[in-house]
């Protein structure tokens, strides 16, 4: 790493100590192990060990029908599972050639942007905690709770949402959900402003984060970084703008970029992304009002499970129900790569299908896994306390890291 040369001074002390940071350390927020060689408080070298919560999702997915893979995606980045769910639905829909009605696209945009906000809330407020400022955390967590209430209203669950279905949503948003989204848009901005006022120009916070773990755009690209981390380094790559999915092309939003990719830049980029997400939600709410309020799924009876009452009373619905559940619907022999902008970066699904009831091969391009590999090399020469903040701002989620 050119930014952080290994600490080679003329210190006569040649004996280094080994420090196990993790697998369960309160400062790492998850199951991460790094075996560090320490020279006093400075890191000389580090080796990351991952895989502590590997659950073989790719193998399990080869044995499950498509709609049963959605709950697996929940458990990758569990701070923003709706984005994973939607990404998976869209991958399958792309493979099957299902065109979504506009209203469903906009509903998905709302869900994904809410999830992005909740993910960034966690990352940025925890970053505050790691620098010693617990206040911001207590301010912000309340609003993640508000977002989870919206999810609960829509799909019945909060963290591992399993939201939506292949072909649309399992049910329409009710009026309480819309009210909660609207009230979120009203009460969250003043709070976020307050949060920014608390941190952005706070001397202690800026001193702790500025120029810590700075990354050049070239290095970030070479390590295949994506998402807020890459944008903080100054590259305006956002899947939502480059390859719009779910009608993102209909929306007006900006892509915030940083300059030198340090922890402070990442913090600012994430905060700005929350503002942009709120803009997107507001636009989506306005667009939804112009659409038919009863549409919440595409008209694809061979892939979208019919409502239960119809299964019991309607012959066609029963046939389709049986065919979907037993995996009797023919699917194309093809391969598809679909990427969505996850909260941590490009979340890709590479699906190879052989026409069977489950994928022949499914690979997840997990941003946390790819972003995290720079962590040990970039920690060389860093102070341990800076390395902790760096990990916090990488926002690596253990579930996504290990799949």
Partner 1 sequence: MTKITNEELLNSITAKFAGVTSVGEPFGLLTIETSREEIIDLLTFLKTDAKLQFIFLTDITAIHYPKQEKQIGVIYHLHSLVNNVRIRVKVFMDENDLHIPSATVLWDGANWMERETYDFFGVLFDGHPDLRRILNVDDMTVFPMRKEFPLEDPNRVDKRDYFFGR
Site residues for partner 1 per CB under 8 A: 50-51, 54, 56, 58-60, 62-63, 94-95, 219, 221-225, 235, 237, 242-243, 326-328, 334-337, 339, 346, 348, 350, 352, 356-357, 360-361, 363, 365, 369-370, 373-374, 377, 402-403
Q: Phi and psi of 48, rounded to 5°?
A: -90, 135
- Give me the least distance between CB of 199 and partner 1, in Å please: 30
- Give me the least distance between CB of 176 and partner 1, in Å please: 38
CB distance 166 to 77 below 8 Å: no
Q: Compute CA distances 90 → 46, 93, 164, 338, whole Å.
A: 39, 5, 11, 8
Tokens 């939506």 locate to: 164
Cα dihedral 112, 169, 283, 82 in deg (nearest 10): -10
Q: Where are the alpha helices (DSSP H) in 290-357?
A: 308-313, 315-326
CA-atom Rg of the chain in angstroms: 22
Across-strand partners of 48?
A: 34
- Give me the least distance between CB of 62 and partner 1, in Å please: 7
Q: Which is nearer to partner 1, 210 or 357 (CB)?
A: 357
- Give me the least distance between CB of 161 and partner 1, in Å please: 25
CB distance 151 to 163 below 8 Å: yes
- Give me the least distance between CB of 142 and partner 1, in Å please: 36
Q: Which is nearer to partner 1, 219 or 283 (CB)?
A: 219
Q: Which is nearer to partner 1, 148 or 350 (CB)?
A: 350
Q: Which residues contact 83 (CB under 8 A, 6 or more apart)?
A: 77, 112, 115, 116, 119, 340, 341, 342, 343, 347
Tokens 């092309």 locate to: 249
Q: Which is nearer to partner 1, 54 or 142 (CB)?
A: 54
Q: Which is nearer to partner 1, 149 or 335 (CB)?
A: 335
- Give me the least distance between CB of 130 and partner 1, in Å please: 25
- Give me the least distance between CB of 104 and partner 1, in Å please: 20
CB atoms within 10 A of CB 308: 10
260: which DSSP letter?
S
Q: Which is nearer to partner 1, 53 or 141 (CB)?
A: 53
In the structure encoding, which two tokens stand for residue 185, read together?
Answer: 């848009």
- Give me the least distance between CB of 322 and partner 1, in Å please: 11
Q: Which is nearer to partner 1, 58 or 170 (CB)?
A: 58
Question: Is residue 224 exposed (0-12), middle (13-18) or buried (19+ Cβ within 10 Å)?
Answer: middle
Q: Which is nearer to partner 1, 47 or 187 (CB)?
A: 47
- Give me the least distance between CB of 218 and partner 1, in Å please: 9
3-state secondary structure of 350: strand
Q: Which is nearer to partner 1, 196 or 238 (CB)?
A: 238
Q: Distance between CA 366 and CA 399 in Å, rounded? A: 10
Q: Distance between CA 174 and CA 399 in Å, rounded? A: 31
């Amino acid at each position: 790493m050119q930014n952080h040369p290994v600490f080679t001074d003329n210190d006569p002390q040649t004996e280094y100590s080994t420090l196990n940071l993790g697998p369960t350390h309160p400062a790492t927020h998850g199951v991460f192990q790094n075996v560090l060689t320490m020279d006093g408080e400075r890191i000389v070298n580090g080796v990351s060990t991952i895989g502590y919560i590997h659950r073989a999702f790719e193998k399990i997915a080869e044995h499950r029908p498509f709609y049963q893979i959605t709950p697996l995606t929940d458990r990758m980045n569990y701070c923003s599972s709706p984005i994973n769910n939607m990404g998976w639905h869209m991958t399958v829909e792309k493979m099957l050639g299902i065109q979504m009605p506009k209203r469903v696209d906009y509903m998905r945009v709302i869900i994904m942007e809410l999830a992005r906000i909740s993910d960034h809330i966690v990352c940025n407020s925890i970053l505050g905690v790691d620098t010693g400022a617990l206040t911001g955390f207590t301010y912000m967590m309340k609003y993640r709770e508000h977002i989870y209430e919206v999810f609960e209203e829509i799909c019945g669950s909060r963290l591992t949402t399993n939201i939506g279905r292949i072909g649309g949503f399992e049910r329409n948003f009710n009026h309480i959900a819309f009210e909660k989204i609207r009230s979120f848009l009203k009460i969250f901005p003043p709070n976020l402003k307050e949060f920014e006022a608390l941190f952005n120009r706070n001397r202690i916070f800026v001193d702790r984060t500025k120029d810590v773990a700075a990354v050049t755009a070239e290095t970030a690209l070479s390590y295949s970084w994506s998402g807020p981390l890459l944008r903080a380094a100054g590259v305006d790559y956002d899947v939502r703008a480059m390859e719009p999915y779910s009608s993102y092309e209909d929306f007006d939003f900006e892509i915030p970029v940083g300059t030198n990719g340090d922890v402070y830049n990442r913090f600012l980029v994430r905060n700005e992304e929350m503002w942009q997400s709120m803009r997107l939600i507001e636009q989506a709410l306005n667009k939804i009002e112009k659409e038919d309020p009863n549409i919440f799924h595409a008209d694809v009876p061979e892939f979208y499970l019919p409502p239960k009452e119809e299964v019991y009373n309607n012959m066609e619905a029963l046939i389709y129900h049986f065919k979907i559940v037993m995996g009797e619907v023919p699917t194309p022999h093809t391969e598809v790569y679909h990427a969505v902008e996850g909260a941590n970066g490009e979340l890709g699904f590479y699906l190879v299908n052989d026409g069977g009831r489950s994928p022949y091969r499914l690979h997840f391009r997990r941003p946390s896994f790819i972003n995290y590999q720079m962590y040990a090399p970039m920690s060389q020469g860093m102070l341990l306390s800076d390395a902790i903040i760096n990990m916090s701002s990488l926002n690596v989620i253990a579930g996504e890291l290990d799949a």
